[in-house]
Structure 1
Amino acid sequence: MTSQQSENGHVRIANELYEAIYRTNFNATQLKIIMCVIRYTYGFNRDSHSLSLSFISNAISVSKRYVSDELKKLIEDNVILVVNDFTVTKSREIKINNNYSEWEGCRTIQQVKDTSTDEDDFHTTDEHDFTTTDEVVFIQERQIKNKYKDNDFKSVFDYYISLDLIKHRTYTKDMVKAITKAVKDNKYDIGYCKTLLLRHKTVVEKSKDSQYPVKVRGFAEFFGQKVYGATHLICSEYEEGGKYYEQYIKNDESVNKPGEIKNTRGPLKFIMRDNY
């Protein structure tokens, strides 16, 4: 285990900026990107630095596609500033906008006053003490999230079985872990998980007579295993823009015809919060 003493390396950041970051409703990927930018700017006593999408993706263990999407939002919201755009030979140079009053499209969670003592300005409460709108919404979302995980992830497994791909006997802990990670990291909803499985079945059938047929993936493998030599999950190959989607699915309207699972790709409305 490495030493965690500050003398062996630390990041200096103004308390006011630090507080502004954790009080703003960034989703998990955005927060990771911000922390990464801070690490490689303030962490090296520099104001800005050239950071590629691939570098950030590897540093925070999030797919390049989602890093690109969320970084774009952070730049549009003026949270991250582009000092110099990328060139043929150099990555884009970026920095944190430490004037957080200029951040756009970001909601700040209100701090709760502590009336029980004069020693501290603010206190930590449990969920029953939350009074602001943002905090109430957060509680509701967390409750929905827990219900969603327990009841509906199993429905994705049941749908997988109905596709007659691999006849798993039981819904195992490894399967739960795999789909939970896919949902958290890739921002899938339940409908989109089923869409990806339907596309997988379609690709397997379409490629079975080809020189390089696509093999059937088990449930845990499909949602939890990374593509060989890459950082993204196998299920990502079936997203819009993914390898198999572009090769087999893109021009096949029958895959999402009426009566089939609709393409409901989009961020989860209740999971992507600071608790990840």
Structure 2
Amino acid sequence: MAIKGQPGAGKTLLLKYLVLSWAREKLNSSSNEYVPILLELYRLNEIEISGLNIEVLKQKLVEALDRDDFPKANSFVEQSLEKGKLFLLFDGLDEVKSLIRTQVVQAINDLLDKYDKCRAIITCRAAVYHNDFAESVDKTLDIKEFSDRQMRLFLEAWKSEMPPEKSIDQLIQTLRDRPLIMELARNPLMLTIVAHLYTQPAFVLPQSRSDFYQESTHILLNQWQNNFNQYKESAHKRRVLQHLALFAQDNASKQQKDDLSLDYQIVLEQIQKVLPDLNLNPETDTQPILR
């Protein structure tokens, strides 16, 4: 099965949920069902284009288990593929470098053709997916945007975070009064950002998308998952991202097959061009600013 959707629609979360559901059921059952392996496809970006094949893909599956200290992962993957006992979850085809994406698609198709008893799900952003796995999957599904009812159910989880003077009903009515923002908020990630912003007593939901994006960017750079953000100078990150966005737009036809990704080496080179303007050292500060 192939699953496509917009950024933030929940594709990765869906695959993680499937793995978690399997683990919970496995605790209460000894049945020998399909064992899921989640492989983030961006991990293939380090492979040379000439080396992308079934064997490399199998090794990446082994490494996915190794990261969780799975015993004898190599022999388990080999035997389970032969027996058709794996549930292969390939996440984020769009995160594969465009220069090698065709070869990655071919390797996955070859793997699924050879081990056709195994189940598989491949996820990809809708804008990047071009029916690449039509010969290998039975279905291609789209993750739909939230309905009004689903938005309300989603926001229930934020009820306890709302200040006394605000409510879910008020937020939904505010969104209805701002149809451009309402359209964005039907995306799970964007609705999460809306809800997070709305829990702040002084926050007023903007009327325009540009103002909303400004607020959202501020949250993502300054507050969102701050515990994982090792580089704390958000102004520096903003400047770097602005440069990369402009570079990607101006050079899509020259450097990439699309304007949705940039080669990692190109990213490093472009960051190094910006850092002197920020009084930073390209040799020592390029890697830290990515964290």
TM-score normalised by the chain length of structure 2: 0.28
- Richer in helix (by share): 2
- Richer in strand (by share): 2
